[in-house]
Amino acid sequence: MSDVIAGSPLLSRSGAVAGDGLDASVAMHYGDPLREQRLLAEGLAAVDLGNRGVVTVTGPDRLTWLHSMTTQSLTGLAPGESTETLVLSPKGHVEHALHVVDDGATTWLSVEPGTAPALVAWLNSMRFMLRVEVADVSDAYAVVGEPLSGAGLPGEPPTWVDRWPALVGDTAAYGPVDGHPGEARSWREVIVPREELEAFVGDRPLAGTWAAEALRVAAWRPRMGLETDHRTIPHELDWLRTAVHLHKGCYRGQETIARVHNLGRPPRRLVFLHLDGSGHTLPEVGAPVFVAGESARPVGYLTSVARHHEDGPIGLALIKRNTPADVDLVVEGVSAAQTVIVEP
């Protein structure tokens, strides 16, 4: 199975401009990113996420097997219900983020672009004698993102509903519980056969990934591959709230989850940034973040950046936990006012 998904047929739509980096092979916009973002926020547009990987797990042991290896409780997942779970390294670092939905016969996993082959290889290495089969079906299925519009209907395609920022199961929040900005964002991802992609979208307006990313950033929603690096633990991103069950059976990396939660604080913390919009360009993702007036040593780096249709330039950054919460920051010469997400 190919690591790279071929360009989406929706790139032939009027005004489509192909993305790059993590979101290559789908449109970053269709000519008017801010208008697309407003339509998406109003529940009127759909987003081509056909670059995401799709993995299926079948067999009677599928849910108990996945439950035993990942961070979320999956054994009680009912047909049509969805959740989120993480695959951690033995030291508790995030390796994969799985959007999980089960239809009663198959567990569907939607994953970040390019990560399906590695996930499938690892899952197959963990099969042993259990009755499960794993397949990378990314070439046959595409993902469409759209605002959540009520409960799913019988006969609908497999659909993952993002429950962020709710507390899912026996878990904990490292940021605010009430008044979280993510409460204003509704989001689901529908898995459809690739040959039915254009028919599923129909004549609805399309929004590019720039629009979807701006709303994600405004909701403080972490994304694998952007907010994560090789040493990220879920606590740093307030990711326990939707993806980690604190009192389930053992799984790889659980010791780190428990130790940090019970005995300490994460070494870094995610912050939301309001960026100075007086310039014409935005800082690059990965750019070092400094405390304003101090240029000797960076305190972190920019993980995501976007132009929001109401708030202007915004971003997320991962910084050292002991960085004062009341100081302004600077990214590539651009002033950035921080809002605390993960409490220091």
Domain locations in the chain as residue ranges = 9-243, 267-340
Across 97-115, average pLDDT = 97
pLDDT of residue 264: 86
Displacement of CA 192 from its chain's centroid (Å) = 19
pLDDT of residue 25: 93
| Neighbouring C-beta atoms of residue 298, cutoff 10 Å | 17
- HSE toward the beta carbon, residue 23, CA cutoff 13 A: 22
Query: 210, 233, 241, 234: which is closest to 305 by C-alpha?
Result: 210
pLDDT of residue 5: 58
pLDDT of residue 185: 95
The sign of the CA dihedral 68, 69, 74, 80 is negative
Give the model confidence (pLDDT) of 56-65 as tens digits: 999 999 999 9
Give the model confidence (pLDDT) of 328-338 as tens digits: 999 999 999 99
pLDDT of 144 over the 70 cut: yes
Query: 272, 271, 277: which is closest to 335 by C-alpha?
Result: 277
Q: How confident is the model at residue 148 (pLDDT cuts 50, 70, 90)?
A: confident
pLDDT of residue 277: 86
pTM for the complete prediction? 0.95
pLDDT of residue 2: 42
pLDDT of residue 4: 47
Across 32-46, average pLDDT = 97
Across 48-52, average pLDDT = 97
Give the model confidence (pLDDT) of 162-182 as tens digits: 999 999 999 999 999 999 999
Asked if 29 and 36 touch (Cβ cutoff 8 Å), the reply is yes
Those residues with Cβ within 8 angstroms of residue 240's Cβ, 6 or more apart along the chain or in another chain:
171, 172, 173, 174, 234, 246, 257, 261
Those residues with Cβ within 8 angstroms of residue 74's Cβ, 6 or more apart along the chain or in another chain:
63, 64, 66, 67, 83, 85, 100
pLDDT of residue 6: 64
Lowest mean pLDDT among 6-10, 24-28, 37-41: 6-10
The chain-wide mean pLDDT, for the chain, equals 94
Q: How confident is the model at residue 295 (pLDDT cuts 50, 70, 90)?
A: confident
pLDDT of 45 over the 70 cut: yes
Distance CA 295, CA 282 (A): 19
pLDDT of residue 154: 56
- Of all residues in the chain, what percent carry a pLDDT higher than 70? 96
Give the model confidence (pLDDT) of 218-235 as tens digits: 999 999 999 999 999 999
pLDDT of residue 1: 41
Q: How confident is the model at residue 249 (pLDDT cuts 50, 70, 90)?
A: confident
Architecture of the CATH domain 267-340: Beta Barrel (2.40)
Q: Does domain 9-243 have CATH number 3.30.1360.120?
A: yes
φ/ψ region of 127 (left if φ > 0, alpha if ψ in -120 to 50, else beta) reads alpha
